[in-house]
Amino acid sequence: MQSGPCRKLVTATAQSKDSNKALFTSLRSALKLKEWDEHTQAEVRHSIALLASSFPAPIVAKELSSLRFGHHHAASVCCWLMQQQHKRRSSTLHHFLQSLSLQGRFSKCWELLHRVQESPSLRSAISPEAFAILAKSYGSAGLPLDAMAVLQKMGSFECRPNYFVYNSIIGVLAKHQKLDCALALYEQMLQDGCLPNLQTINIVLNGLCKQRNLQGAHNLLISRLQGGQMLDAISFNTVINGYCKVGEVEEALKVFHTMKNKGYKPDVVTYNLLMHGYCKESDIDSAQELSNEMQKEGVVPDLTSFNTMMFGLCRCRRMKEALDLLSSMKVLGCSPDIYTFNILMEGFCKIRELHQATLLLDNATNSGCIPDVFTYNILINGHCKEGDFNGAYKMLQTLTKSGCSPDPFTYCTLIHPLCLAGKMQAALKLFYEMIEKGFSVDKVLHSALMDGLCKSGKVTEALKISHWIGKLHSPDVETYNGLMSSLCKEQKLRKAGALLAEMEAAGCHPNNSTYNILIGGLCQAERVFQAYKLWKVMNSRNLELDASTHNLLVRSLCRKDEVVKALKLFREMEKLDYLPEGSTFGALINGLSKLGDTKEATALLGAMLTKGYKPSLSVYNNILKGLHDAGELDASKYSIILKDMVTTGCVPDLNSYNILIASSCQAGKMQDAYALLALMKLNGCVPDNMTFSTLLCGFCIIQKADKAYKLYKKMLLKCSPPAIHVCKLLAQCLQREGKEVEAKMVLRFIKSSEDKIRNVKVSRIPDVVPYSLMKGSFYRHNIDLAAISTHMNTRPSRKPRGRQTKCTLKFQPTRCFGMLLAFSGALQLWN
C-alpha cells in the first residue's frame, strides 16, 4: 500500500506542466522519507525525469539541491538527475556538492563523488572545480587543514588540480593564518607547472609580509615584473605596507618608485601607507611632501589621508598645524569622523592641555560625530595623568549617560593610577564593578591591584582577590610573583612561602623570578639559612639567581659567618659571569680573614681592585688581621697592601695608626713606633689613651723602665692615666730594674684606683687591647701575669659613663693580638 507522500507524487506527475509547483512540493515530501520501497523509488525517478524534460538543467539542479531531503538520498537523486541530462552534468554535481557541504555533510560529498566515479557514463562530470568547491566549504566551516587534504584525495579520482583549486586552497589557508602551509602549497603549485593567478600572488605576498619575510616578498614582486606577468596596485601596496610596519620606510619608497617606473599608477591607499610609515617614524616633513605629490598627481586624498597626517602632526606635538588641518578638511569638503577628533584629543592630552581636549569633545558633538568609548577613554586617561580623579569620575559618568558602555580599558585606565596614588578603596570599588560586568582582569591590572593593596597594608584583601581570580582562571606565574613580592616587602614571609606551595599545587611552576623574590625577602629578614636551602632547591631545578640576589645572599651568609657557603655561591656567580658588588667582596674578605684563609682573601682583594672597586679601610684592616692570625704577616705582603691603600686614596684613621704602632711595639721597634706617632700627628690624627698605653707596654717589653715611667707621668698630666693592668705591668718593670721609689708611686696609684673601682666611683674599664697585645712578650720576658690577669677579670657591676674613645677595637683577648701586629715594619713605606 502506498504512503501519503507517494500517492501525492503519483497524482502530481499525472497533471500538466502548470502543476510543476505541486510536483516539487510532493517530491520534497517523498525525499524526506528515511526509507524508500521500490515503488517510491521508481516514482521519484519518474518525477525527476519529468522535471528534467520540463525545465532547463541548471534550474532543476538548483531546485533539487536546495530541497531539505534526507542526506542519505542525495547521491541517488544527483546521479538520477545527471543521467537524465546530456549536458551540464558537472553543473548539477557542483550544485549538490555545494548544498551538502554547506550543511556540513562532507562525508556525503565524498560518497557522491565516489558514486559518480563508479558510473562510466557520469565519470567525466568530475572536474577540478568540484574539489575547489569542497575546499572553500571546508574553509567556511573553519577546517583549513581539511581543505588542504583535498589535494591528496584528488589523486584517487584521477583528477589533476588546476590553478583554480590551488588558488581556492591557498586562499583558505591564508584566511585562517596558516601562512606556512599556504607558502608551501604555492611552491608545490609551481613545481606542478600550474601558473598562479594574480589573486594567488597577492595572497602569497601578504603571507610573506606577515611572516616578516619582506625580502622574499620583494623578490617575488620583481620576478613577476621581469617575467612580464600581471600585477596590480594591491600587489605593490601589500609589500609597501609590510616594509612600513617594520619601520623600513626607505625600502617601501623604493617599491613605490619601482611601481611608478613600471607604469603602475599609485592609488590613494599607496600614498596613505607611505605617509603613515613616515608618521610612525615622526618624519612629518617627508609625509607632507608625499601628500603634496599625491595631490599633484591628481589623486584625491580621502579621510584616511587626513587622519594619517593628523596622527603624524600630533605625534610630533605640532598641535597648531593639526588644528589648521582640521579646518582645511572642512574647506575641502572632507568631513572629519570621530577618529579624527580622537587623534586630536589624545595629542592634546599628551602635552597636558586637557582643557583643549575637552573643547574638542564639544566640537565633535556639534559636527555630528558621536563620541565612542575610545573618546571617553582618552579623556579619562588625560584626567588621571593630571591627578584629577574627580574629573575622571565625571567623564566616566558622562560616558554612561551618553549610552556608551565602559570597556575593560576604561576601568584599567582608572584603577591603575588609583593604585599608584594609594587610593585603594576607590580602586577596589571600580574593580568589583568591572567584575560584575563580566570583564576579565589582565596581568597588568592584577599586578597593579596586588601591589597597591600590599603597599597599603591590605595583604589579606590582596590574597582574597588573588584566590578569587584564581577560581575564574588559573593565575600565571607572573601573578603569583607579584603577590609574593608584595608579601616579602611587608615581611609576611610565612604567607609568601604558603603561596609558593599553593602555586606548585596548582600546577604553576615557579621560575627564576619566583625564587629571586623569596630568597631576597628571606635575606632581608636575616633568615639566611632558609634562603640558602631555597637556593639549593632552585639549583637542583636548573634555575638561576639574578645578580642582585646573588650578591645579597653572599653578604647575608657572611654576616652569619657561613663563609664557606658564601664562597661556594660566589663561585657560581663567576660561572654565570655576574659582576659581584664591592660590598660583596668586602664581606667575603672579612669572613675569609676571620677563618684564616688569607690566600683566598688576598686573591679576592686583587680581583676587587681589578674590577675597579675601591676597598674600604675596614677591608684592608680585616685582611691584615687575617694575615697575622694565620702567621703569614711579613713585610712584602703588608707593604703591597699599604701601597694599594695609597693608590686607591684610602687614608689610615686613628684605628689604623694604633694598629701600626702596636705592631712596631710588639716587634720591639720603639723608634719606628714613635716615628709613626709623629706621622699620625702630622696627618691630623690625635693619639688617644690606647696609643700611649700601647707605647708604654712596648717600653716595658724591651725593659726600658725609665722611658715607660716618663710616658706614664705624661699620661697622668694629661688626665688620661693608663689602665690598671698596664700600671701593674709598669710597676713590675720598675721593680725588676731596682727603681723602687717609682714602683711604689705606681703601686699607690693602682691601690687608689682599685678602691675607687670597688666603690664604683670611676668609670674607666681596663682596656684589654694592650694586655692582649703584649701577652706573648710578657711570657718571653718572664713578667708575672698573675696580678694583671686577676685584675683583668675584675669589672665594675655598672656600665661606665665616662668618655668613650672615637675608635674602639672590640677585640677578644685571643684575637686582638694579631690585629695590633698587622702593621709592623710599615715605617719604610711611609718614609
pLDDT digits (tens, 9 = 90+) for 492-537: 888 888 888 878 887 788 888 888 888 888 888 888 888 888 888 8
How would residue 798 be classed by pLDDT, with cut points 50, 70 and 90? very low
Torsion of CA 727, 728, 732, 733, to 10 degrees: -30
Distances (CA, A) of 640 to 72, 656, 829: 100, 16, 10
Residue 823 neighbours by CB under 8 Å, 6+ apart: 624, 638, 642, 656, 659, 660, 661, 662, 663, 664
Supply the DSSP symbol for 651: -
Name, of 324-333, 455-464, 765-774, the range with top average pLDDT.
324-333
Residue 694 cell numbers, joined: 700601647
How much is the mean pLDDT over the chain?
79
How would residue 39 be classed by pLDDT, with cut points 50, 70 and 90? low
User: What are the φ/ψ torsions at residue 120 (nearest 5 degrees)?
Assistant: -55, -35
Q: Are 98 and 106 in contact (CB under 8 A)?
A: no
Q: Is the pLDDT of residue 616 over 80?
A: yes
Going from the N-terminus, what domains does the chain have, and what CATH number goes with each?
A: 511-576 (no CATH), 581-643 (no CATH), 652-831 (1.25.40)
DSSP per residue, 427-496:
HHHHHHHHHHTT----HHHHHHHHHHHHHTT-HHHHHHHHHHHHHHS---HHHHHHHHHHHHHTT-HHHH
Residue 266 neighbours by CB under 8 Å, 6+ apart: 233, 236, 256, 259, 260, 297, 299
* Average pLDDT over every residue of 304-320: 94
Q: What's the CA gap between 371 and 480, in Å, rounded?
A: 39
Dihedral class, residue 505 (left if φ above 0, else alpha if ψ from -120 to 50, else beta): alpha
State the Cα angle at 84 between 83 and 87, rounded to 5°: 85
* Average pLDDT over every residue of 55-67: 59
pLDDT tens digits for range 183-242: 888 888 888 888 888 888 888 898 889 888 899 899 989 988 888 888 999 999 999 999
pLDDT tens digits for range 632-650: 665 566 667 777 777 888 8
- How many CA within 13 A on the CB side of residue 400? 7
How would residue 356 be classed by pLDDT, with cut points 50, 70 and 90? very high
pTM across the whole model: 0.57
Q: What's the CA gap between 431 and 445, in Å, rounded?
A: 9
Distances (CA, A) of 677 to 567, 651, 660, 686, 807: 39, 15, 9, 9, 16
Greater confidence (757 vs 246) lies with 246
Q: Are 246 and 214 in contact (CB under 8 A)?
A: yes
Residue 658 cell numbers, joined: 694604633
pLDDT tens digits for range 244-273: 999 999 999 999 999 999 999 999 999 999
Greater confidence (195 vs 592) lies with 592
pLDDT at 259: 93
* Average pLDDT over every residue of 314-341: 91
Measuring CA to CA, which residue among 145, 79, 71 is closest to residue 108?
71
pLDDT tens digits for range 769-794: 444 444 444 444 444 444 444 444 44
User: What are the φ/ψ torsions at residue 103 (nearest 5 degrees)?
Assistant: -85, 0
* Average pLDDT over every residue of 654-681: 79
Q: Are 208 and 183 in contact (CB under 8 A)?
A: yes
The 3-state secondary structure of 412-425 reads: HHHHHHHHHCCCHH
Distances (CA, A) of 3 to 24, 43, 64: 17, 12, 21
pLDDT at 716: 86
pLDDT at 66: 58
Q: Is the pLDDT of residue 360 over 90?
A: yes
Greater confidence (80 vs 546) lies with 546
Q: Is the pLDDT of residue 664 over 80?
A: no
pLDDT at 261: 92
pLDDT tens digits for range 389-435: 999 999 999 998 888 889 888 988 898 888 888 888 888 888 888 88
pLDDT at 20: 59
pLDDT at 637: 66
* Average pLDDT over every residue of 707-729: 86
pLDDT at 62: 61
Residue 468 cell numbers, joined: 578569587
Helix (H) or strand (E) holding 139: helix 128-140
Distances (CA, A) of 635 to 629, 815, 824, 825, 826: 15, 21, 8, 6, 7
How would residue 818 be classed by pLDDT, with cut points 50, 70 and 90? very low
Measuring CA to CA, which residue among 372, 375, 366 is closest to residue 348?
375
- Cα torsion 321, 322, 327, 333: sign: positive
